[in-house]
């Protein structure tokens, strides 16, 4: 087909798409696209930038393929998005025009945070079993009445480990910042006290390593590893429920560390006294130091959080829109971040400020499909805890069966539970090619049909990440 014929066919497909997804969605997301190739082998669509490409692929790929099939009579084998220079320049010109027309506003009040520090060197992160998220720092944790006590204690622990608030126990519901604070403490200690042996793990990882040590007759090596630390940070303590032997081992580990004046930091969904099927002696150990709660952020804190999280997109969110979001997004921090990510993508597509009616409509759609935002680091950490591998092994090229399966499960869960593209997932897990991610997804999809144990594992990890089960 000539380019003119292809262009005419794409215009018909666009008209069908407008009827399918609605006028507003079409004008926001797919009007400013063009067709590069259209045949039974491939449909290649030009878009302004990678952000829009990933968003449209994740949200409208099925609608695009179905519309092509209805108009052209065939379904292309491949759907591809490419960055088009003309569309990119046109979007930038529109953004510049909007900036030139916009009056200069006074700088918004910055959220209260501690002074910014340099990022943690990657060299130190490699010493950790878990992949510490470099974004989880104490200096970018937004403070308010709902978390002030826990934050102040965390700063004190990171500044003078082992001297006050020992042990420190943080508790609160899902997505309120427990992991941010714990990894923030770990990141700060790795930067300020390089001579200290600091280790961040989940309770599940502790249990699995303990069981493995028992079965391999390596309990002394296990104890030497955990009892010779300067700082032990354990997340998701509630995982130990009903595991008496693991609780007993943790109790002796905490006692050994406290005797040496070493710092202990723990986190759970519940207050120590509310943890069911826990040894009373362990609960008493938890509460003998500092216990601090994280609550759902109030309006003023949510307002500061939104301003902080928007970052470079802040100029596209008028103050009225920001206040509306702070009022309506009465949820945990992780969900709030998810909504802001989608709205920021919407702003990038329009190239203009978001109006209140548009945000109201978009927010209605988001709330109707409300689900926890899952990060790639979340997936990596639950897989590390379950399979007993390390972040370095997952990112490496080792092909031992247990490591390969763990890596493939990571990629499978990433495809199921996140909106990241194949390229982004591959890049996160050690710079793998996108075809590796496709193979991993297909491999696990096939394996869980034949292996009930693996299916149960994948479903349990999905539940742990607060997502629906595999059908």
Residue 189: both structure tokens together: 């200690």
Strands of 78-83's sheet, edge to edge? 34-38, 42-47, 78-83
Task: State if pTM tops 0.75.
Answer: no
CATH topology of domain 3-101: GMP Synthetase; Chain A, domain 3 (3.30.300)
Q: What is the pLDDT of residue 97?
A: 55
Phi and psi (nearest 5°) for 97? -65, -40
3 state SS for the chain? CCHHHHHHHHHHHHHHHHHHHCHHHHHHHHCCCEEEEECCCEEEEEECCHHHHHHHHHHHHHHHHHHHHHHHCCCCCEEEEEECHHHHHHHHHHHHHHHHHCCCCCCCCCCCCCCCCCCCCHHHHCCCCCCCCCCCCHHHCCCCCCCHHHHHHHHHHHHCCCCCCCCEEEEECCCCCHHHHHHHHHHHHHHHCCCCCEEEEEHHHHHHHHHHHHHCCCHHHHHHHHHCCCEEEEECHHHHCCCHHHHHHHHHHHHHHHHCCCEEEEEECCCHHHCCCCCHHHHHHHHCCEEEEECCCCHHHHHHHHHHHHHHHHHHCCHHHHHHHHHHCCCCHHHHHHHHHHHHHHHHHHCCCCCHHHHHHHHHHHHHCCCCCCCHHHHHHHHHHHHCCCHHHHHCCCCCHHHHHHHHHHHHHHHHHCCCCHHHHHHHCCCCCHHHHHHHHHHHHHHHHHCHHHHHHHHHHHHHCCCCCCC
Q: Which of 365, 380, 389 is nearest to 418 (CA)?
A: 380
In terms of C-beta density within 10 A (0-12 exposed, 13-18 middle, 19 or more buried), how is residue 340 classed?
A: buried
Phi and psi (nearest 5°) for 264? -125, 130
d(CA 267, CA 143): 18
Angle at 466 between CA 361 and CA 186, to 5 degrees: 105
Q: What is the pLDDT of residue 212?
A: 92
Q: Which of 449, 413, 442, 443 is nearest to 428 (CA)?
A: 413
d(CA 128, CA 121): 12
Q: Which of 388, 423, 392 is nearest to 406 (CA)?
A: 388
Q: Which of 131, 123, 39 is nearest to 79 (CA)?
A: 39
Q: Which of 77, 20, 29 is nearest to 49 (CA)?
A: 29
Q: What is the pLDDT of residue 96?
A: 56
d(CA 137, CA 417): 25
d(CA 136, CA 181): 7
154 and 205 Cβ atoms separated by less than 8 Å: no
How many residues does this entry show for the chain?
Answer: 471
List, run by run, the mean pLDDT of 10-residue segments along the chain (471 residues).
82 89 78 87 84 76 90 89 75 56 44 44 48 86 90 94 92 87 94 89 93 92 93 94 94 94 94 91 93 88 85 84 83 75 76 81 62 76 91 87 93 86 87 89 91 91 67 47
Q: Which of 399, 389, 404, 417 is nearest to 444 (CA)?
A: 404
Q: What is the pLDDT of residue 347?
A: 76
Domain boundaries, the chain: 3-101, 122-294, 299-368, 376-464
Name the architecture of domain 122-294.
3-Layer(aba) Sandwich (3.40)
d(CA 406, CA 414): 12
203 and 234 Cβ atoms separated by less than 8 Å: yes
Residue 303: both structure tokens together: 């307002």
Q: What is the pLDDT of residue 339?
A: 79
Strands of 263-268's sheet, edge to edge? 198-202, 231-235, 263-268, 168-172, 290-294
Please name the residues in contact with 434: beta carbons below 8 A apart, sequence gap of 6 or more: 421, 422, 423, 425, 426
CATH topology of domain 299-368: Helicase, Ruva Protein; domain 3 (1.10.8)
Per the DSSP assignment, residues forming a β-bridge with 81 are 45
CATH number given to 376-464:
1.10.1750.10
Residue 178: both structure tokens together: 């427990």
Angle at 335 between CA 331 and CA 338, to 5 degrees: 140
136 and 179 Cβ atoms separated by less than 8 Å: yes
């Amino acid at each position: 087909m000539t380019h003119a014929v292809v262009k005419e066919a794409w215009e018909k497909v666009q008209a069908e798409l407008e009827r399918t997804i609605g006028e507003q969605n079409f004008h926001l997301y797919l009007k400013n696209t063009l067709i590069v190739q259209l045949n039974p082998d491939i449909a290649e669509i030009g878009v302004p930038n990678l952000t829009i490409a990933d968003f449209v692929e994740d949200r409208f790929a099925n609608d695009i393929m179905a519309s092509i099939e209805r108009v052209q009579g065939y379904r292309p084998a491949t759907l591809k998005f490419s960055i088009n220079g003309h569309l990119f320049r046109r979007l930038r010109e529109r953004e510049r025009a909007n900036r030139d027309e916009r009056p200069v506003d006074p700088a918004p009040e910055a959220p209260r945070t501690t002074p910014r520090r340099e990022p943690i060197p990657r060299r130190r992160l490699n010493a950790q079993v878990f992949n510490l998220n470099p974004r989880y720092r104490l200096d970018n944790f937004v403070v308010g009445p709902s978390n002030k006590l826990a934050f102040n204690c965390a700063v004190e622990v990171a500044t003078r480990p082992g001297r006050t608030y020992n042990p420190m126990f943080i508790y609160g519901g899902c997505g309120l910042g427990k992991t941010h604070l714990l990894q923030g403490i770990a990141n700060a200690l790795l930067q300020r006290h390089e001579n200290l042996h600091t280790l961040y793990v989940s309770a599940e990882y502790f249990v699995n390593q303990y069981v493995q040590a028992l079965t391999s007759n390596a309990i002394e090596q296990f104890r030497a590893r955990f009892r010779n630390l300067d700082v032990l940070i354990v997340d998701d303590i509630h995982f130990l429920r009903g595991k008496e032997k693991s609780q007993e081992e943790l109790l002796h580990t905490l006692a050994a560390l406290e005797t040496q004046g070493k710092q202990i930091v723990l986190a759970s969904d519940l207050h120590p006294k509310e943890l069911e099927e826990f040894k009373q002696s362990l609960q008493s150990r938890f509460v003998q130091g500092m216990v601090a709660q994280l609550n759902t952020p109030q309006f003023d804190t949510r307002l500061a959080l939104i301003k902080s999280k928007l970052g470079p997109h802040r100029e596209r969110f008028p103050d009225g829109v920001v206040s509306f979001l702070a009022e309506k997004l009465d949820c945990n921090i992780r969900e709030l971040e998810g909504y802001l990510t989608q709205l920021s993508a919407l702003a990038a597509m329009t190239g203009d400020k978001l109006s209140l009616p548009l945000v109201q409509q978009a927010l209605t759609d988001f709330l109707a499909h409300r689900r926890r935002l899952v990060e790639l680091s979340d997936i990596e950490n639950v897989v590390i805890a379950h399979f007993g591998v390390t972040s370095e092994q997952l990112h490496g090229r080792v092909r031992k069966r247990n490591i390969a399966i763990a890596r493939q499960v990571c990629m499978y869960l990433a495809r199921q539970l996140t909106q990241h593209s194949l390229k982004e997932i591959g890049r996160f897990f050690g710079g793998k090619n996108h075809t590796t991610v496709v193979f991993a997804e297909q491999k696990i999809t096939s394996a869980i049909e034949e292996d009930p144990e693996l299916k149960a594992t994948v479903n349990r990890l999905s539940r742990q990440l607060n997502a629906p089960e595999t059908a």
